[in-house]
Structure 1
Amino acid sequence: MVATIRSGSINLLNTIIGAGILAMPFGLKSNGIVFGSFLIIWSGLTSSFGLYLQTKVSKYTDQQDAVSFFSLSQLTYPSLSVVFDAAIAIKCFGVGVSYLVIIGDLMPQIMSVFQFEGLWISRNLWISVFFLGIIPLSYLRKLDSLKYTSIVALISVVYLIVIVLMHFFDDSHQGVEVDFWGPISIQSTLKSFPILVFAYTCHQNMFAIINELRPTESGSKTRQSNIIIRTAISIACACYLTVGIAGYFTFGKAVNGNIISMYPQSISSTIGRLCIVVMVALSYPLQCHPCRGSLNHVIFFIREKVKNYKQPNTETENLMNDAEESFDESFISTTPMEGSHDTDGHDPIVVPLTSKDFYMITTGILVASYLLAITVTSLEHVLAFVGSTGSTSISFILPGLFGYLLIIPKDRKPTTLELLCRYGGLALCIWGVLVMIVCLSATIFLGATH
């Protein structure tokens, strides 16, 4: 199955838009309409530049069908590749668990509206019910296979936007007090900063989308990727601004971090809550997909270290060849499982994913996330720490670092665009470090959550 611009845009957009859209009015409350809108747009621009650098770097590796953060790390800082993938895996796993927790929190509220009691308002029951539906979707081997579930999730987002706009045009909310310019205060900006800056995190799936694209009449893979990035980021930004501005003008300074909870109990608001449940449930596989790929890299790294320890006289190249021989060719995943080679012609670094490992890793992710979701009731602060580190690394630091280190032609003078991308990558990497420091500080000292 070959991905298209449409399917890639749908999956990338669904990866971007999650339950965080409900907190956009709170983000504007904390920063004012103008400054808050600027932060939303700025966050979209920085994230899109990171995605663009991923596209550029995949081109320069000469292995566009199988590029990954792991393979790029092998070309830059091989010893840190396992750290990068571990951070990606933890981040995606944590977000997936948070989706299950959201389902457990909202479904009892929905059922109570219809006067259900007892077992029907049990959070664990509804986590289990939706989890059974998530299981088969999590075993799909290509990201492109999730395009139809992503469409359903995005329809839920459209319904939420309609509800927000309907209440915005309701005359009963006219005359509320809002801060137009902003910023309100340094403290309020820092507390809401993680919500806005991580609103566009989707970079963990960008390489998978690139790998599944093929040159068509629509243009090269690079051109198709750029169209996908522009489409997904632009639509997401428009959705965030619409919900943020309309929701803030509806409730003013009384708005909280979940706009849907502000509306009175009604059929429309109850359906809105159900839409959130559907949206996050169908977004879970989009987190499981990159989590599986990164865990496969980590496991491969550990296995090779063990082999090197037991066979100290064996060259790494031989070990890589052994790994290739064990590869089950009946399953060739387009998740970034296989490495790349650089423009100097170095041998490719292959990280195989056998069918056995595919099922074992996926099952492990599902079981662990389910057990954690039914055990804990709040992951806000854990996710804040994971988001501050994992999301920042994926969105800014790694794309910027790879762009700076790899966009360096060996056989010719770099073009103006290549120089801009290289030093722009350095600026993005520095921005990512600053974001990490600010968000971690806000989480520790101000209690901000992701």
Structure 2
Amino acid sequence: MLPGLSMRRMYGSVVEKNGGGTSSSLPIVNAEDASSSVVSKSRKGSTIASGVVNLANTIVGAGMLGLPGAFGGTGWLAGVFLIVLSASLSAHGLVLLSKAACLTGRPSSFYSLALASVPGYTTLIDAAVALKCFGVATGYLITISDSMVNALHHMIITGDPARDDRFIASLLLSRHFWVVGAMASVLPFCFYRTLDELKRLSALALVFVFMLVGMIVAYANGMADPCGGNEGGEETCKGDIVPFTNIPSTLTRLPIFVFSFTCHQNIFPIVNEMELPSQRRLNIVICSSIGFALVVFSAVAIEGYRTYGSAVRGDILLNYPENKQVTFLRICIAFMLALHYPLQLDPSRRCISSLVEGIIKWWRQKKIAASIPKAISGECLDGLAFRPEEVEESLDTDNGEPTIDSVYIQMVQNNVKIQQADDNDSKGITPDDRLFYNITFIFLLLSFTLATIVDDLGVILALVGATGSTLVSYILPGLIYVKVYPHKDMSLVMAYAQLLLGVVIMPLALYFILTKRVNH
């Protein structure tokens, strides 16, 4: 740090104190810079209904297929307690983040809130959220391909080698073919810039959710035979139904409950895009979305567990007999996950763009700081919008000499003004399209490559649930809120409780997950 230069890290404010004790501050990267990066042409005007549909669709994804299996590891009474607790804590985390976003101002993001609360960890937080969403999105591609292979296997395979060995049959039963197909199906939806533009896709995806719930309830209540085609009948098809199991088994399943309700990365575009985003309106969106997800998840988990008991598998669909109804449902789930993919890509893209913006700002600041001696001596500065005659405007009031602080401020002010003017003239304050498309294409390419070479992300997604989901759902909402909220009241106490719970859950869940894998 140069002598006399007072600034709040790389992303804070440069502050000059003159002889009169007044101060002037210049934000180098403010909240708007951070969150209006390459991804957002945010238009404020989305409705409560649009926010509910998009947030609910972010929650209700492939994670619900694992909830019956989670009940199998916890027992039905412990499972009901954990699913209600997870929904409540998730809703509370969303409320904390929405309040913090309103306190710091729109447009908001994890980056802008971290900048205001824990500026030393902005890069780490953005990277964690981006990786978490990338892992989930890639898992969607794998699940889509597996669902289509399983569905078509029932439709195509006849037992006749002459027909089953045909090229077209082999192609349609290839995982790699359907990874390509999954990528092609999600591609048209990946270039929307706001969540509000995805509301129709989200509504369509919810139709497939209702179909899944309907089938699970039908099998649980005897409308269809859940053990059809099973040689051992109900004796091997169903297991015991118990209220509790044991603590290690319950803690191993805990990340599944946390993961299922994780949607916190998408609360920020909802806040940014909503018309009149009062806390009351945001609370309606949050409670409606979480309430809807809780009803759906409870129906899937309880009815699925009641159908197969302790014999329920990690993916509930694997328990059901191979018939036309289940085959059709697998295809519906594949379409549902294709519509969910953009809801994971969007927040990841926003975080990646914030990281890129931070690197660009850091480089510009480093260049300016290195040129301060030349500016004081009146030399020409390459690439900087600072004129030597403006040194006179930055003279110290006591001795008529330019100070490092004053020159620095003048240089940054001129560069920021010109940069903003260029943006206004050439882009109408819109994000950089090239960076937007580059990030999107790189995300899609990496996701496609990983889904092609890896056929089982079960362990990775379990670790994502224990780390990324706990971080996003519990730790960050609590930490950010206690840092930016000025009043000592009950909401602050609850924020501390949320933070502490996340800090406890993460290592415990990781320990039991890794212990179980080692034992196996």
Given the two structures, how large is their TM-score scaled by the length of structure 2?
0.76
Deviation of 1:104 (Å): 1.8
1:392 aligns with 2:505: no
Residue aligning to 1:77: 118
Looking at structure 2, the residues matched to 177 and 380 of structure 1 have their Cα atoms a distance apart, in angstroms, of 23
Tell me if structure 1 keeps the 8 A contact 2:70–2:256. yes
SS across alignment from 2:262: coil
Residue aligning to 1:344: none
1:242 aligns with 2:303: no
SS across alignment from 2:369: coil
1:4 aligns with 2:47: yes
Looking at structure 2, the residues matched to 241 and 103 of structure 1 have their Cα atoms a distance apart, in angstroms, of 24
Cα–Cα, structure 1 residues 322 and 275, in superposed 2: closer, same or farther, change >3 Å? farther
Tell me if structure 1 keeps the 8 A contact 2:186–2:338. yes
Deviation of 1:178 (Å): 3.7
Residue aligning to 1:340: none
Cα–Cα, structure 1 residues 115 and 401, in superposed 2: closer, same or farther, change >3 Å? same
What amino acid is aligned across from residue 76 of structure 2 in structure 1? I
**CA deviation profile, 1:24-64 (whole Å, cap 9, x unmatched):** 11111111111110000000000100000111112222x2x
1:297 aligns with 2:354: yes
Residue aligning to 2:231: none
SS across alignment from 1:129: helix
Deviation of 1:177 (Å): 5.1
1:132 aligns with 2:199: no
Looking at structure 2, the residues matched to 327 and 438 of structure 1 have their Cα atoms a distance apart, in angstroms, of 48
Looking at structure 1, the residues matched to 85 and 420 of structure 2 have their Cα atoms a distance apart, in angstroms, of 43
Residue aligning to 1:37: 80
Looking at structure 2, the residues matched to 123 and 294 of structure 1 have their Cα atoms a distance apart, in angstroms, of 30
Looking at structure 1, the residues matched to 204 and 175 of structure 2 have their Cα atoms a distance apart, in angstroms, of 23
Looking at structure 1, the residues matched to 466 and 368 of structure 2 have their Cα atoms a distance apart, in angstroms, of 39
What amino acid is aligned across from residue 374 of structure 1 in structure 2? T
Looking at structure 2, the residues matched to 297 and 136 of structure 1 have their Cα atoms a distance apart, in angstroms, of 24
Residue aligning to 2:459: 381
Deviation of 1:124 (Å): 1.4
Tell me if structure 2 keeps the 8 A contact 1:191–1:447. no
Cα–Cα, structure 1 residues 169 and 386, in superposed 2: closer, same or farther, change >3 Å? closer
Cα–Cα, structure 1 residues 166 and 69, in superposed 2: closer, same or farther, change >3 Å? same
Residue aligning to 1:336: none
Count of residue correspondences:
414
1:92 aligns with 2:133: yes
Looking at structure 2, the residues matched to 136 and 407 of structure 1 have their Cα atoms a distance apart, in angstroms, of 40
Looking at structure 1, the residues matched to 433 and 501 of structure 2 have their Cα atoms a distance apart, in angstroms, of 39
Consecutive unaligned residues in structure 2, runs of 5 or more? 1-42, 158-168, 227-233, 373-407
Looking at structure 1, the residues matched to 242 and 170 of structure 2 have their Cα atoms a distance apart, in angstroms, of 46
1:279 aligns with 2:305: no
Looking at structure 2, the residues matched to 133 and 263 of structure 1 have their Cα atoms a distance apart, in angstroms, of 27
Cα–Cα, structure 1 residues 47 and 84, in superposed 2: closer, same or farther, change >3 Å? same
Cα–Cα, structure 1 residues 324 and 214, in superposed 2: closer, same or farther, change >3 Å? same
What amino acid is aligned across from residue 445 of structure 1 in structure 2? T
Larger Rg over CA atoms? 2
Residue aligning to 2:402: none
**CA deviation profile, 1:251-271 (whole Å, cap 9, x unmatched):** 112111111111111111011
Residue aligning to 1:339: none
1:107 aligns with 2:169: no
TM alignment of 1:42-81, pairs within 5 A: 42-61=85-104, 63=105, 65-81=106-122
Looking at structure 2, the residues matched to 49 and 241 of structure 1 have their Cα atoms a distance apart, in angstroms, of 19
TM alignment of 1:230-379, pairs within 5 A: 230-313=287-370, 315=408, 317-318=412-413, 324-325=420-421, 327=423, 330=427, 353-379=431-457
- Does 432-441 or 198-207 show the bigger shift? 432-441
SS across alignment from 2:156: coil
Tell me if structure 2 keeps the 8 A contact 1:331–1:355. no
1:442 aligns with 2:517: no
Residue aligning to 1:13: 56
Deviation of 1:364 (Å): 1.2
Deviation of 1:321 (Å): 5.3
Tell me if structure 1 keeps the 8 A contact 2:423–2:429. no
Deviation of 1:447 (Å): 2.9
- Does 171-180 or 77-86 show the bigger shift? 171-180
Deviation of 1:300 (Å): 1.2
What amino acid is aligned across from residue 13 of structure 1 in structure 2? A
**CA deviation profile, 1:373-405 (whole Å, cap 9, x unmatched):** 112112222233333222222111111111111
Deviation of 1:304 (Å): 2.3
**CA deviation profile, 1:84-137 (whole Å, cap 9, x unmatched):** 001111111111111111112121111111116211111111121231121121
Looking at structure 2, the residues matched to 384 and 214 of structure 1 have their Cα atoms a distance apart, in angstroms, of 37
- Does 70-79 or 160-169 show the bigger shift? 70-79
**CA deviation profile, 1:239-292 (whole Å, cap 9, x unmatched):** 111111111111112111111111111111011111221111110000110011
Consecutive unaligned residues in structure 1, runs of 5 or more? 334-352, 409-413
What amino acid is aligned across from residue 516 of structure 2 in structure 1? L
Given the two structures, how large is their TM-score scaled by the length of structure 1?
0.87
Identity in percent = 34
Looking at structure 2, the residues matched to 94 and 190 of structure 1 have their Cα atoms a distance apart, in angstroms, of 22
SS across alignment from 1:130: helix
Looking at structure 1, the residues matched to 77 and 131 of structure 2 have their Cα atoms a distance apart, in angstroms, of 35
Indicate which of 257, 260, 275 corresponds to 1:196.
Answer: 257
What amino acid is aligned across from residue 190 of structure 1 in structure 2? L
Cα–Cα, structure 1 residues 232 and 108, in superposed 2: closer, same or farther, change >3 Å? same
Cα–Cα, structure 1 residues 325 and 206, in superposed 2: closer, same or farther, change >3 Å? same
Residue aligning to 2:268: 207
Tell me if structure 1 keeps the 8 A contact 2:129–2:468. yes
SS across alignment from 1:24: helix
Cα–Cα, structure 1 residues 266 and 225, in superposed 2: closer, same or farther, change >3 Å? same
What amino acid is aligned across from residue 53 of structure 2 in structure 1? I
Tell me if structure 1 keeps the 8 A contact 2:68–2:316. yes
What amino acid is aligned across from residue 498 of structure 2 in structure 1? L
Looking at structure 2, the residues matched to 431 and 14 of structure 1 have their Cα atoms a distance apart, in angstroms, of 26
SS across alignment from 1:198: helix
Looking at structure 2, the residues matched to 252 and 72 of structure 1 have their Cα atoms a distance apart, in angstroms, of 44
